[in-house]
Structure 1
Amino acid sequence: MGVKQVLRAMDAFPRAEEHLLQKTKSGAFVSIVGLVIMSTLFLHELSYYLNTITVHQMAVDLRRGETLPIHINMTFPSLPCDVLSVDAIDMSGKHEVDLDTNIWKLRLNSDGHITGTEYLSDLEEKEHKHDDHKDHHDDSDNKTHMQGFDQDAENLIKKVKQALAHGEGCRVYGVLDVQRVAGNFHISVHGLNIFVAQMIFGGTTHVNVSHIIHDLSFGPKYPGGHNPLDGTERILRGASGTFKYYIKIVPTEYRYLSKEVLPTNQFSVSEYFSPINEFDRTWPAVYFLYDLSPITVTIREERRNFLHFITRLCAVLGGTFALTGFQVLQIQQVSCSNTRLLNHPSAFLITG
């Protein structure tokens, strides 16, 4: 036996001669359906392979001495910009002398349209104290008793009352860079002298701290990231009060396929509302109290293994090809059987 005969004997896919093959319309239909199925499965597997996946890993956060960026974008529809202030407090007890702020205020009319812009220069840096806003107003009381109202205070009172009468609001936005330790910041009327605030609002229960949080984040956004406070609306219809948002920040690194690393943070939040009555000495405010998790999360983009893609592709395409080939073979066998039956002499019955 020659080499060619040996190779032919090892052929696992013998083919019938051309004159033994019979092509039918039904077989062509099955073939077309099979091609459509195989094309669809191929595109699906290719899309599955090209799409990136993300892998999450956790480790102890070892970073030190960095700052924490706080991106703020909020609207206070019932408070003019002249009375709003942002107070940042470092819970470590140290004075934040190097706090870098870039906060702006946009004046809004009753329809929510922007009518003016100003830089927020009344940002206050404080050490952590218990009930610090009470201490602030107590200091303001003493100063007012000693100095009394001046012309600036009277002009401010008149200006703010007119703004309130016209339904003016304020939008606060920008970036607040703080030390990477637990702390809080709040937006309120605490920057006002207490007697000036009394002349403007007539009491703590008349300070409407209704607000809309358009964006609040602790770092740049990353693919698939979600900030739970974005789009939050808290509109007061009755008595005023203080809103407190307790935020747990999780340091996060996002690693792209290009090996680029994006340092950021994600967070969870719970909120609490405390109503204020006319006998309370505290003034309504919106507090954001944040703490940092000791665990950091690394989100890494990855692409699926190419050999895995080839294996899945061969499985689905080969399976579809085999199934359609089996159906075509059955159709051809039925067609050949019918042909032989019709050509057999006993298939014709002659009646007289």
Structure 2
Amino acid sequence: MKLGKLKSISAYARAESHLIQQTNYGAIVTLFGVCLAIALFTSEAVEHFRPYTLTTMGVDTVRDQHLYVEFNMSFPALPCQALSLDASDVSGILGGDYSMAKNGELHKIRLAQDGGRLAVEEYVAPRHYGFALRKPRAEVEALNAAFRANEGCLVLGWLRLQRVAGNMHVSVHMDDYIMLERAQSAISAALGSRPVNHVVNGLFMPEEGVGVNVSHHIHRMAFGTHKADEHPEIINPLDGTHRIVTEKTGIFKYFLKIVPTEYIKLGGHKLQTNQYSVTEYDSPAHPEQLQLPSVWFVYDMSPVTVVMAQTRRSILHLLTRFCAVVGGVFAVTGMLDKAVHKLVTSVLK
């Protein structure tokens, strides 16, 4: 094929120089197009070099036997002497308040009526002695004194649970419940026959008698070792939850579906953690049916795992976006130039 025939397939025909007309408004449209292209180029370049998270799902194949739980909760109307944290699962493994405190996994901080800490030292639960009548007199008196002072309790720490369905709950045991009811009856008798209906440190005191109040604030509830500032993609829906009892107290239940999550950073560092969804339910407590005021976290493991991997886009993706910017700006400025030219010529006629 001769070179003379090759130009017949050219898609870019050139007009003769004497047929080309340059205008001032054409120059303005051109400068506008150049500025627009530079702005779009910059935006695409910044977006290209910024890592993004690619989320995929698959079947959970991890055989780790433990589930790490980190918690931080405060109970403004119940003293530390009355609160107990227990955990159990479908495998039959039980964990009590004393054993967890002794191992340093559970910490209790006494709170004053205004919410401040009473002391730097934490409260350490004594060994469980059984029914209230068998408890040491000093322990019974300490519980009554804390209740009369309207003390609260900050419960925080971490647990290693089996990687199976189970629950953990903060409750008042039967013996402590009986002592609190007796103390409340004494308070009601001291107040005389006057109707009482007010709130003290989150403790609702209805006319028919005072209930054991499990109002609570969940500052943190996480199933994993991640930090919120390092992994903002992972959200704990229970963080910041507040439940204040305004009527007769009862049982609060949070049902959690835990989803194993693997987070992979750009450098290849992997973090095994968990996310979860939650629904909640509350109901009145019935002591005659051995239902005592408590806060339950009932959890179950999901068979699906989520992989969140940080990655960058390829250089071909950037080139494609640049070409799209060039073509788009050229087409838009071309249409704009034609519209301005048509408007100017119609005005000048």
TM-score (norm: length of structure 2): 0.76
Could you say which residue in structure 2 is the equivalent of 1:216?
221
Q: Percent identity?
A: 38
Q: CA RMSD in A?
A: 3.7
Contact 1:68/1:178 (8 A) holds in 2: yes
Query: C-alpha offsets along residues 35-77 of structure 1, whole Å, 9 cap, x if unaligned?
Result: 2221222233223323333333233222224321111111212
Could you say which residue in structure 2 is the equivalent of 1:172?
155
Query: C-alpha offsets along residues 265-311 of structure 1, whole Å, 9 cap, x if unaligned?
Result: 01111211120256444320101111112222212222223212211
Contact 1:205/1:277 (8 A) holds in 2: no
Gap runs ≥5 in structure 2 = 187-208
Name the CA distance, whole Å, in 1 between partners of 2:342 and 2:211: 90
Question: Aligned AA for 2:116?
Answer: H
Could you say which residue in structure 2 is the equivalent of 1:75?
74
Rate the CA distance shift 1:257–1:191 in 2: closer, same or farther, 3 A: farther
Could you say which residue in structure 1 is the equivalent of 2:324?
315
Question: Aligned AA for 1:110?
Answer: Q
Measure how far apart 1:178 and its partner are: 1.8
**Count of residue correspondences:** 317
Name the CA distance, whole Å, in 1 between partners of 2:305 and 2:265: 17
2:314 to 305, 311, 317: 305
Question: Aligned AA for 2:253?
Answer: K
2:170 to 184, 187, 195: 187
Could you say which residue in structure 1 is the equivalent of 2:116?
113
Measure how far apart 1:241 and its partner are: 0.3
The 5-angstrom pairing of residues 1-352 of structure 1 reads 12=12, 14=14, 23-95=22-94, 101-119=104-122, 121-122=124-125, 140-141=130-131, 144=133, 147=134, 150-164=136-150, 168-190=151-173, 193=176, 195-202=178-185, 206-219=211-224, 220=226, 221=228, 222-277=231-286, 279-325=288-334, 327-328=336-337
Rate the CA distance shift 1:332–1:194 in 2: closer, same or farther, 3 A: closer
Measure how far apart 1:218 and its partner are: 0.1
Rate the CA distance shift 1:115–1:16 in 2: closer, same or farther, 3 A: farther
Question: Aligned AA for 2:138?
Answer: D
SS in 2 for 1:268: strand
Contact 1:106/1:172 (8 A) holds in 2: yes
Name the CA distance, whole Å, in 1 between partners of 2:60 and 2:80: 39
Name the CA distance, whole Å, in 2 between partners of 1:123 and 1:59: 46
Question: Aligned AA for 2:52?
Answer: I
Name the CA distance, whole Å, in 1 between partners of 2:130 and 2:345: 105
Name the CA distance, whole Å, in 2 between partners of 1:191 and 1:231: 29
Gap runs ≥5 in structure 1 = 125-135, 342-352
SS in 2 for 1:207: coil
Name the CA distance, whole Å, in 2 between partners of 1:51 and 1:195: 60
Contact 2:214/2:249 (8 A) holds in 1: yes
